A = this chain, B = another copy of it.
Amino acid sequence: MSNNTITLTGVAATEPRHLVTADGLQISSFRLASTPRRFDSAEKKWNDGDTNWFTVTAYRQLATNAAESIKKGDRVLVSGSVRVREWESEESKGTTVEVEADAMGHDLTWGTTQLTRQPHKADAASEPPTI
């Protein structure tokens, strides 16, 4: 089990980068800007909170379809799990917050979509990635 589940909405802040590993695994990732709405009890209205930034990563068929579908600026809905990774290079170090997507789509709150079905290997996609 993944141990954490997250669902979030936001704006794709970059075009998805798509690559295929030497083993044939498709991977796509893009940056997502997610801005909460907060209710201000004093002013009795909703305001924008601070934007949270995530790297969204998808694998296999979802990676390929997301790369073909999602453009910079699109509103999306993503569900999956969070990975927090510390990294260190010779010059610098930092933290990456990654959402590994189990499913995602354009958020219909903000537009309409036309679907084109793609061939799908059900078994491969239903198993957790083993990378």
A residues adjacent to B (C-beta < 8 A): 1-10, 34-42, 44, 46, 50, 52-54, 58, 61-62, 65-66, 68-71, 74, 76-77, 79, 81-86, 94-97, 102-118, 120, 123, 125-128, 130
Contacts and interface: CB of A to CB of B under 8 A. Distances in A.
A113 B109 contact: no
A1 B106 contact: no
Contacts of A9: 3-4, 79, 103
Contact of A82 (B6, B79, B109, B117): B6
A62 B103 contact: no
Contacts of A3: 8-10, 34-37, 52
Contacts of A118: 110-112
A125 B108 contact: no
B36 A112 contact: no
Contacts of A7: 4-5, 7, 79
Given A4-B7, A9-B4, A103-B108, A79 B81 contact: no
Contacts of A70: 108
Contacts of A97: 82, 84, 95, 97
Contact of A44 (B1, B44, B76): B44
